[in-house]
Every structure is written in C-alpha cells, then in structure tokens.
Amino acid sequence: MNTYTAVKTRILYLCEEKKLTIHKLATESGVAPSTIKNILYGKSRNPGIVTLKMLCDGLGITLTEFFGTEEFEKLEQEIK
C-alpha cells in the first residue's frame, strides 16, 4: 500500500466509524467538500499536513491517532 492509498482509506474508515458524510466532515473540519473529494477521488494525491490536521480536528482525533495504525507502519518506500 502506498501513502496516498493509506490516507484515503483511513479517512473513509474514520468517516464510516463516526457516521460522517463528506459534507458533514467538511463542516466539522473547515475543509471545503471539494478538497475532501479531491483527496478521496485521486485528484489531490499529496494533501498537506495542515489539511490533514484540520480533518483530524473535524474527526475528533489527533494526528498521532490518524497515523498510528498498522497500515502506516508498514508503508512501502515511495522512492524506489
């Protein structure tokens, strides 16, 4: 799994877990719905850390909680 896929999968998982739609996450986080959709649908494959922090705030978690999963610990090397 690459980093982009791990980030996208994590956002989708957390939205499902917290029963949030993209629109509700946008409202809670202050991130435009179009930005979230661009991340989820591959137009933005490198979201900035500030955007991820805002999404985490909207999800009610820390960046450490967001990245503290097995998927992120086992990421493949991006540069080969």
Q: What digits encode the pLDDT tens for the residues 28-80?
A: 999 999 999 999 999 998 999 999 999 999 999 999 999 999 999 999 888 87
Domains held by the chain: number: 1
The whole-number pLDDT of residue 50 equals 98
The whole-number pLDDT of residue 40 equals 96
Task: Decide if 51 is inside a domain.
Answer: yes
Tell me the torsion sign for CA atoms 35, 36, 41, 44: positive
DSSP calls for 15-31: HHHTT--HHHHHHHHT-
Task: Decide if 19 is inside a domain.
Answer: yes
Q: What is the mean pLDDT of residues 2-10?
A: 94
Full-model pTM: 0.91
Domain that holds residue 15: 3-59
Task: Decide if 77 is inside a domain.
Answer: no
Domain of 48, CATH number, reads 1.10.260
Looking at residue 74, the DSSP 8-state letter turns out to be T
- In whole angstroms, give the CA distance from residue 31 to residue 79: 29
Task: Decide if 74 is inside a domain.
Answer: no
